[in-house]
Amino acid sequence: MAKGFMPRGGGANMQQLMKQAQKLQADMEAAQAALDDAEYEATAGGGAVRVVVTGKKMLKAVEIKPEAADPDDVEMLQDLILAAANEAMAKADAQAASSMAKLTGGMKMPGMF
């Protein structure tokens, strides 16, 4: 095929494809903004530690019940905080992957989760 040659009707198809790509991009940007604003909560130690993170994986809140703060077992408290924080971030990742998969039909996109 000669350079610059487009089969008959190809221009209309290309325009439609570009419109679809632009809509997908706008939808993905809106979904990402919603995910970034969302909050994810997790607890550990039967609720002794509660952690909230944002979709941007920023730690927003840590609540520790007084009975979890045993000065003789600081290591356990540290483990509970880590467990809760990691679980909350995993929830954020799972929600992001699920939301984006719905938009892309499961197709992996470069630079995505």
Please tell me the distance from the alpha carbon of residue 56 to that of residue 64, in angstroms, as a whole number. 23
Question: At residue 81, what is the residue type?
Answer: I
pLDDT tens-digit series, residues 39-53: 999 999 999 999 999
3-class DSSP state for residue 21?
Answer: helix
pLDDT band at 34; cut points 50, 70, 90: confident
- The pLDDT value recorded for residue 99 is 84
DSSP state letter for 55:
T
Domains, the chain, with CATH or none: 39-104 (3.30.1310.10)
3-state secondary structure of 39: strand
How many CA atoms, within 13 angstroms, populate the side-chain half-sphere of residue 33? 6
